[in-house]
Amino acid sequence: MKMRMLGQGLEVSAIGLGCMGMSQSYGPNPGDEQAMIKVLRDAVDLGGVTFFDTAEVYGPFVNEELVGKALAPIRDRVVIATKFGFEFTEDGKPVGTSSRPEVIKRAVEGSLRRLGLDTIELYYQHRVDPNVPIEDVAGTVKELIEAGKVRHFGMSEAAAGTIRRAHTVQPVTAVQSEYSLWTRTQEAEVLPTLEELGIGFVPFSPLGKGFLTGKIDTSTTFTAGDIRASIPRFEQDARQANQDLVDLLGRVAVRKGSTPAQIALAWLLARKPWIVPIPGTRRIERLQENLGAAEIELSDADLTEIQDATDKIEIQGARYPEHLERQTGL
């Protein structure tokens, strides 16, 4: 596996692994624990992955526990990123965003315990809290870094101006947002800001929550507990309208002897050398397919073909239902 550099000298594998789906969001039943542990360890041992992404709210809490348990024997070979930014009831139910300093300090102790770490390598603010100045958030993380509990500060779904303000207090190592061939809003302001400031970018849902793999069409049904059932972009009419994008990826994939998913990931890798996508999966064969994208070289002609074609495709449907979109800082 090739390596890439995020901000502040943090080196990680060119493709990471998003772990959320192992515990939630893609059906009523999370993945079997032993099977998920095997996927996580195989990602390191067979695929060379060093970068794993989780969060306290995934589950809640159980995804961190899974990642911590799975990676404990190989902890010195990996970078584990997790996130704070939600408040919970006494029985562990999330009740909304909160990045008050006392919430962050409580959250880091829980994440350290569940992950079995002395220090969290990359600690993201999961969602910008409009009620807490970002300078206070960055200052709190700076204190955690000085205390040795955190090494690097990250932000998720933050706007360019917010990133700049945070960066003046505590240098930001990476920003995480949804980014793929069908979600490109970050190109206008966020990506230029990151390039200017020397901050890495970590796209989540780089395969469009599965749509860009070519495995989803208008006949696909989503089970209870699958987040895609609530996303406008996955409504049947939208899927039909957005099929042109999958067809494009398929044409390039045939020429390259690869798959649509690999082309979608290779396109992201070709954008900038400091972009590190984190596709998620519960299956070994999909893991192997995704990691194979790191070996695909898209030529200038390939990239021009993709750009020219996508310029003519108008993606239909919002990426989130309104209540979730309101939680983003974009």
Q: Taking the model in full, what pTM does it have?
A: 0.96
Q: Choose between 28 and 140: higher pLDDT.
A: 140
Average pLDDT, the chain: 96
What is the three-class DSSP state of 264? Answer: helix
Q: Which residues have a catalytic role annotated? A: 58
Q: Is a pLDDT exceeding 90 seen at residue 224?
A: no
Residue 254 identity (one-letter amino acid)? V
Mean pLDDT of 183-209: 97
Residue 328, token pair as written in the block: 């983003």
Determine the pLDDT at residue 315.
96
∠ CA 61-63-65, rounded to 5°: 75
Residue 207, token pair as written in the block: 């395969």
Among the listed residues 63, 90, 83, the one whose alpha carbon sits nearest the alpha carbon of residue 128: 83
User: Chain centroid to CA 327: how far?
Assistant: 16
Sign of CA dihedral 272, 193, 195, 279: negative
pLDDT band at 330 (very low <50, low <70, confident <90, very high): low
pLDDT digits (tens, 9 = 90+) for 83-106: 999 999 988 899 999 999 999 999
